[in-house]
Structure 1
Amino acid sequence: MRLLHTMIRVGNLERSLAFYTEVLGMKLLRRKDYPEGRFTLAFVGYQPESEGAVIELTHNWDTTEYDLGNGYGHIALEVDDAYKACEQIKQKGGNVVREAGPMKHSTTVIAFVEDPDGYKIELIQANSRVD
């Protein structure tokens, strides 16, 4: 078995695709409309689906926003330099909600950004993780 993807529902697919591809640098791997079901699936990631897990963005055509609830945590991305990544994300119009710095009670350097629908994405600096 292997992990294939994580699915999140988005209210505006074009806005979300712009964030994941232009701000976070992912690639649009595939996209398909399902007119009878009135939804679109778009898969984004840093590598082909055959090589690693990706994110499935599900857009239900008749829904413009979702209540994220309190069960969702975050998506985690490894970055070379969390401080630099935050600056680049802000320059591209992204929303940094926790600036880069050491995690409480650890030396692991993390930051958090938020996508257009309010989903949190943790940036974890490579080579700073201790656990």
Structure 2
Amino acid sequence: ASANVTINVTQAPLTITAQDKSMVEGASVPALTAAYSGFVNGDTSASLATPVVLGTTATSASVPGSYPITATGATAANYAITHVNGTMTVTAASTGGGGGGGGDDGGCTTREGSSLLWLAALLIALAGARKKVRRPTN
């Protein structure tokens, strides 16, 4: 004998977490990655019908601080997906303090406005160096 049977399959929970990253101001944004928790029966991220989309508002021009890394858009018929955002931490560029040498730039960095101050100081120094020196008379 045969019979029709209805089977209700509950979706397995799957959490996709944007992994926290860090970068130094002025540097390129590092590759964004995600961690997956909850795949069953040998499934992997390749099993998703739509892959996760990772993004951040941080850019190479971002000032030091914390920026969101968003995880969105992943879909799969057999999974109830929860997306968890991460954090991009941008740290200040080192100002160094060294005396240079060995190809080192001495830790010098340029910040908005500091180039003009440096140029002004250079021009003042050059103007002072161009003054004629008079030889004292006996």
The interval holding the TM-score normalised by the smaller chain is: under 0.3
TM-score normalised by structure 1 residue count: 0.26
TM-score normalised by structure 2 residue count: 0.25
Structure with the greater alpha carbon radius of gyration: 2
Q: Which has the higher strand share?
A: 1
